[in-house]
Amino acid sequence: MHFLIKPYLFVLALNLNSSYSQTPTEQIITKRSNYLSDNKKQTALDSVVENAVVDFIQNPQNCGFSIGVIKDTSIYFYNYGETKRDNKILPDKNTIYEIGSISKTFCGIILAYAITEGKIKLDDDIRKYLPGEYPNLETNNHKIEIKHLANHTGGLPGVPENIRDQKDYDSLNPYKNYDKNKLFDHLRTIKLSVEPGQLCEYSNTGMALLGLILERIYNKSFDEIVKEKICIPNQMTSTGEVLSAEQLKRFADGYNNRGNAVPHWDLGAFVAAGGLRSNSNDMIKYIRYNLQEKDAAVKLAHVSTVNKSTNIALAWHIMNTKFNNELTWHNGATFGFSGFCGFIRSKNAGVIVFSNTATGIDFIALAILKFLQK
């Protein structure tokens, strides 16, 4: 049971291993021959973007998407499709999308701030920051440490096993009514099957718990901490969990991988795992902020804490490209949106891609990143 796409590393590419993966060509009845776009098709980068997206946007089940590219001091934006099916309105850099599990990277950076401020340590027992007693959250005298939540080695389930047992459970908005008290109660029932730190298994539960711990440390909501630590210093005015009335007007409608309209998600206790919303304009600023590493906390967030099937820092995933450059990345999705955020510091380059369809778009970002490495 997976409600947020989890990253997987394959030999030469990143894919989305879930029911939201790209719709096979043979399922497409009629390709869309005409589509909205602001790509001027004049430069080499324009051509790379167009070639990368053409099959995706010609699939009538996909609605629209926005791309941001940064290379050195230059920034480029591309938009395709529609903000809502058949409304004939092209997205732009200010169109807001659900960013899914890319939210985890914000959680990782906030953790890094808490560390540099002396509020928490990576090897702290997580129970130090939880309400009540949790004798079950250890095995063979091995405790779950803070870093285990950030790198998915804590042994916690991907999502709570009791999430579907709620009386007010909504299958199209599964986290909506799952609050922190339900999560804390569920934690008391968990029996760890492996020692913490031994096995890397992607866990939305672990990242949600880390977000709640950070809320307790700062005595603020995760949304408030994100705005204070990251958004305000970087002039990211359209990023967060809670959107204003004006921002809601710029919020794209979401569609599943069959092209059916689905509601926006409310993440409840899981906001740190996947509940933020943003746009390509803000996220290019976010990538630049990560590329520059002017802040010690940002640099710390990029340091690998586990080397299993893939290197993982504080939420960020790290891989070497075939050009022997280090790519720092995360993807994400909800039932109606998908996204990819990645950057290569050695090339001072990065890409953000958002779609208002829950179909994997990693391949678009990777094609652009390949070009930026040449």
| Chain segment 28-40, per-residue pLDDT in tens | 447 878 999 999 9
Which SS3 state, helix, strand or coil, does residue 307 take? strand
Q: How far apart are CA 254 and CA 350, in angstroms?
A: 25
Predicted local distance difference test score (pLDDT) of residue 70? 99
pLDDT in tens, 244-266: 999 999 999 999 999 999 999 99
Instruction: Note if the pTM is more than 0.85.
Output: yes
- The helix/strand/coil state of 275 is coil
Report whether 264 contacts 241 (CB < 8 A).
no
Tokens 């996220």 map to which residue? Answer: 283
User: With contact defined as beta carbons under 8 Å apart, do 265 and 98 qualify?
Assistant: yes
Query: What does residue 351 show for φ and ψ, rounded to 5 degrees?
Result: -140, 140
pLDDT score at 339 = 98
Distance CA 334, CA 99 (A): 8
Q: For helices 204-218 and 180-187, what crossing angle results, to 10°?
A: 120
**Distance separating alpha carbons of residues 286 and 296, to the nearest angstrom:** 15
* Burial tier of 310 (Cβ tally within 10 Å: 0-12, 13-18, 19+): middle
Per-residue pLDDT for 327 more than 90?
Answer: yes
Token pair listed for 3:
């409600």
First-residue to last-residue Cα distance in the chain: 40
For 20-372, CATH number? 3.40.710.10
* Span of 5-9, 166-170, 182-186, 227-231 with lowest mean pLDDT: 5-9
